[in-house]
Amino acid sequence: MYVCGPTVYDAAHLGHARTYVQFDAIRRILREVYGWQVAFFMNITDVDDKILERARTSGTPWRDLAQKHESTFFRDMRRLGVQPPTLAPRATESIEPMIAHIEDLVAQDLAYVGTNTGSVYFSTADFDKSVEQHPQFRYGALDPSRAAPTGVDSAAASAAAVAAVESDPDAGPFGSSDLASGVSGEKRSAKDFALWKCIPDAPADESWDSPWGPGRPGWHAECAVMIKHTAGTIRQDGRLDIHGGGIDLRFPHHENERAQSQTCCGPDPWTSHFLHTGHLHIAGRKMSKSLKNFITIGELLDGPVEALPPGFQPLTARQMRLLFLNVRYNAPMELTAEAVQSTLKLDARLEDTFARVRLAAEAQDALAPSRSWAQHDTQLLAEADRFQHAFRAALRSDFDTASGLRLAHEFAASIHAYLSGETAPQPNVAQQALQELRSALSILGIGASDNYALPGYGASGSSRGQDVASGPSSEELTNALVDFRSAIREAAQGKDFPALFAACDQLRDVVLPSLGVRLVDHEKASTWSPCAPVSPSSTEPSSQPSPSPPRDEPEAPVAPQELFRGSPDYSDFDADGVPTHGANGEELSKNARKKLLKRMKIHTDKYERWLARQKS
């Protein structure tokens, strides 16, 4: 399996993040679901016109610039939980094999020397002749609509497509070009592309000697040769099972790689399957520096918020994986504030599920005799089995991670319902169900530990400055406790019950989240779990997945009609204030309404007793 790597002239951005997270998930699925051993290769383009131009404008030696951004790229990949490649050759380490590769193509009459500059070009016409007996391999087979649209001159159409990709400074999520390949009169056909670019006046450290004069290899030749030498460690003919990259690379880059490499494979395809990730758009526009909607991986992980579009906020590494895997790999993706908020809700739901099962296990009396399983116990385990089968079936359906995560969300809700049911849950049953959820998420590189974390990261999958696993400092906790105690004392002395509850809510909603702790209230207890620290000044809506149910205190000054109205989980209510519709606008089930009515009755009784005491 080979995935085109980055051209290291700038910081990696969200186009890179989406592509490499998606292919990391595909790699894991091939191993964990299909049971295959996967050799994963990636190249590093560390010499290129863009790198040299950026080095000149910044006054940085180009090798230092490339090394800096290569190091940053792999650091970002580690933060996102992307597994390192089996091999990752650099272009500058493969110059001699590239020259030999081009000489071989010239000897086969598949390449020629241009008449003006001495540069070497691949002949697409001669390639088509070489595969006449296998017309399925003709030039343009990957994207016939762009190589030769019906009713349009094929050479002109291909020239336009090549020019559009190679002259665009933001072409594809990887950014590379053959800017010197279009010299007038040099090429026999507009579809031909540069294999070696002769640049006689280039500085000595920016070119290499060759039989055709000093210069540099073309981008398409670089990648074809690095694929041949990495895949050749597995198969002598260098054939691939899977070749991947962003959709922008399908034509002309992957087509030009394929044309060079197919000549060695006879009747067999050089690559069995090409996989391409879809376009990434922000606010309806393709990601682009010139449009000012270019976001680096570091900016979305670390902030500041000012560097992000309105409505966005920094995410943890785990949340970024959820964000990208919640869309099919080959579908276009629209990155919006709504998509970010939806990801935060999914993450909170999963995190709270793990926390609630842990709390149930800790609360179990180890000496108490275990009861036999009831119907709801066996139902949950049966659903766990169905979930595992459905989850793996989704991943086998063209790596449909989006459907897999939807199933995981639904199963987490089932575990929630089991723990909140009228019959006491069996902690060991809940743990067994949770293990099925954990093992499913781990296939996607998420939730591989008891704390629902990315492998190698803190308990919330954080990769930001403060490791969530380490928690807040003792000084921060002490200050929070002192402030909370002062607020409680003042409210108690004045018998100001609303102020007392407000202090508790302030602790839950503002103070603890700023220290990296998420607290969720339940009917008879509260659970906590680590989270990424949230700024106290943040105006983002709470990402708690559950409403704040009626408190279990003997005093209940909150009016029954207002009990549920502050919850983000409901969108509509009846005349008594009981929710009728969930946050997504869907009508609540009869069972959900029954539970809410029961909560309302308990709270109403407490409230009426409280009113009676006030009157007396």
pLDDT bin (cut points 50, 70, 90) of residue 274 is: very high
d(CA 281, CA 39): 31
353 with 264, same domain?
no
Side-chain-side CA neighbours of 240 within 13 Å: the count stands at 27
457 with 485, same domain?
no
Residue type, 58: S
Q: Is residue 327 part of a domain?
A: no
In degrees, rounded to 5, the angle at the alpha carbon of residue 38 between the alpha carbons of residues 33 and 41 is: 140
Q: How far is CA 463 from the centre of its chain?
A: 14
The CA–CA distances, whole Å, from 512 to 41, 50, 482, 498, 516 equal 44, 46, 13, 20, 6
Structure confidence at residue 432 (pLDDT): 94
Structure confidence at residue 459 (pLDDT): 43
Q: Is residue 35 part of a domain?
A: yes
- Exposed, middle or buried by CB within 10 Å (0-12, 13-18, 19+), for 284? exposed
Most confident region among 268-277, 303-312, 355-364, 572-581 by mean pLDDT: 268-277
Side-chain-side CA neighbours of 497 within 13 Å: the count stands at 12
Report whether pLDDT(154) > 80.
Answer: no
373 with 254, same domain?
no
261 with 213, same domain?
yes
Lowest mean pLDDT among 187-191, 287-291, 419-423, 572-576: 287-291
459 with 488, same domain?
no
Q: Is residue 317 part of a domain?
A: no
Q: How far is CA 57 from the centre of its chain?
A: 32
53 with 100, same domain?
yes
Choose one of 445, 465, 485: the last residue of a domain.
465
d(CA 250, CA 270): 15
Q: pTM (2 decimals)?
A: 0.75
Structure confidence at residue 472 (pLDDT): 67
140 with 274, same domain?
yes
The per-residue b/e assignment along 79-92, b for 16 or more CB within 10 angstroms, e otherwise, is: bbbbbebebbbbbe
Cβ(46)–Cβ(90) under 8 Å?
yes
Mean pLDDT of 317-341: 95
Beta-strand pair 517-521/271-277? unpaired
Residues 438, 444, 449, 453, Cα dihedral to 10°: -120
Report whether pLDDT(529) > 70.
Answer: no
Q: What is the pLDDT of residues 441-478, one digit of tens each?
A: 999 999 644 456 544 444 445 444 333 444 567 777 88
Residue 82: DSSP 8-state? P
Q: Is residue 328 part of a domain?
A: no
Q: What is the pLDDT of residues 53-89, one digit of tens each?
A: 999 999 999 999 999 999 999 999 999 999 999 999 9
- What one-character-per-residue DSSP string does 277-294 give? EPPEEETTEE--TTTT--
The per-residue b/e assignment along 493-503, b for 16 or more CB within 10 angstroms, e otherwise, is: eeeebeebbeb
Range of the domain at 394: 336-465
Q: How many domains does one find in the chain?
A: 3
Structure confidence at residue 266 (pLDDT): 82
Residue type, 343: T
367 with 412, same domain?
yes
361 with 506, same domain?
no
Mean pLDDT of 334-345: 92
Place of tokens 């197919």: 262
Q: Is residue 325 part of a domain?
A: no
Cβ(160)–Cβ(149) under 8 Å?
no
What does the block give as tokens for 258? 């394929």
Mean pLDDT of 36-43: 96
Structure confidence at residue 523 (pLDDT): 60
Instruction: For 257-399, list the strands marked E by DSSP.
Output: 271-277, 280-282, 285-286, 333-335
